[in-house]
Amino acid sequence: MTLTTGSFILLGGPEARTDGLARQALELAAGTRVAVVPLAAAFGAPEKEVVAAATWLHGAGAEVEGIMAMNRSEADTPELAARVADADLALLVDGSAMHLRTALKATALLGQLAGLLARGGVLMAEGSSATVLCDPMVDPRGGAPTVGLGLLAGLTVVSHIAGESPETARDKLERTASLVPQGLPVLGLANDAAVLVDADRRLQLIGAGVVSVLQGGVEVDPGQINLS
């Protein structure tokens, strides 16, 4: 599915959360209603993830609601998914990429997130969750491309590269670029990095962390990438 109205904010990890980013995200969303989706953290401490996200966003004036779908059945419950219907911004917290993909794909909740984008809202995803938005996405179990959610087409994201040496991070990005379709941009995000994909499908750096983009095996300026 290709959406052309809303915007995406991709975070390398929770370390990218800053007061300035919270304010910028709400300004972009043109509203204060935020739905926090801790589905990727279902096997960890999802309630704590919602509280942490709410604490961060409240400082910018957000009204936060946790969408406590922990599995596919709950994500496909219309009444629970409908709580996203009035949101201006949704946040997918970090966690298990494969659980998020399996539990969210072709569900009522995914439909509501697509609806949020279609009406001009903002979808923010951090860490492993940011990788799942794309199609193809990187399978964390082996690094090969696999089918993602398809909300953000024309891009593959690799997150959590901050703890690696520059050489290791570069090797990972080059390997991913060699496996995805030729010419598809591969976006590498350090844990504290943040990138905006605006409504015109252009990439803008909005965080202080390291961001790398490879296209056709060559490193390019993120500002030169247009996904439309």
Q: Cα–Cα distance between 85 and 35 in angstroms, integer?
A: 9
How much is the pLDDT for 61? 97
Say which range, 22-26, 82-86, 107-111, 183-187, has the weakest mean pLDDT: 183-187
Pairwise pLDDT comparison (55 vs 153), residue with the higher score: 55
All structural domains of the chain, each given as residue ranges with its CATH number in brackets, are 7-224 (3.40.50.880)
For the segment 26-84, what is each residue's pLDDT rounded down to a tens digit? 999 999 999 999 999 999 999 999 999 999 999 999 999 999 999 999 999 999 999 99
How much is the pLDDT for 2? 45
Say which range, 107-111, 119-123, 169-173, has the weakest mean pLDDT: 169-173
Say which range, 90-104, 106-120, 161-175, has the weakest mean pLDDT: 161-175
Report the chain's terminal Cα–Cα distance, integer Å: 13
For the segment 156-215, what is each residue's pLDDT rounded down to a tens digit? 999 987 666 667 777 888 888 889 998 899 999 999 999 999 999 999 999 888 899 999
Burial 7-25 (b: 16+ CB within 10 A, else e): bbbbbbbbbbbeeebbebb
How much is the pLDDT for 1? 45
How much is the pLDDT for 4? 52
How much is the pLDDT for 141? 82
User: By CB neighbour count within 10 A (0-12 exposed, 13-18 middle, 19+ buried), where does 111 fall?
Assistant: middle
pTM of the model: 0.94
- Band the pLDDT of 20: cuts 50, 70, 90: very high
How much is the pLDDT for 227? 86
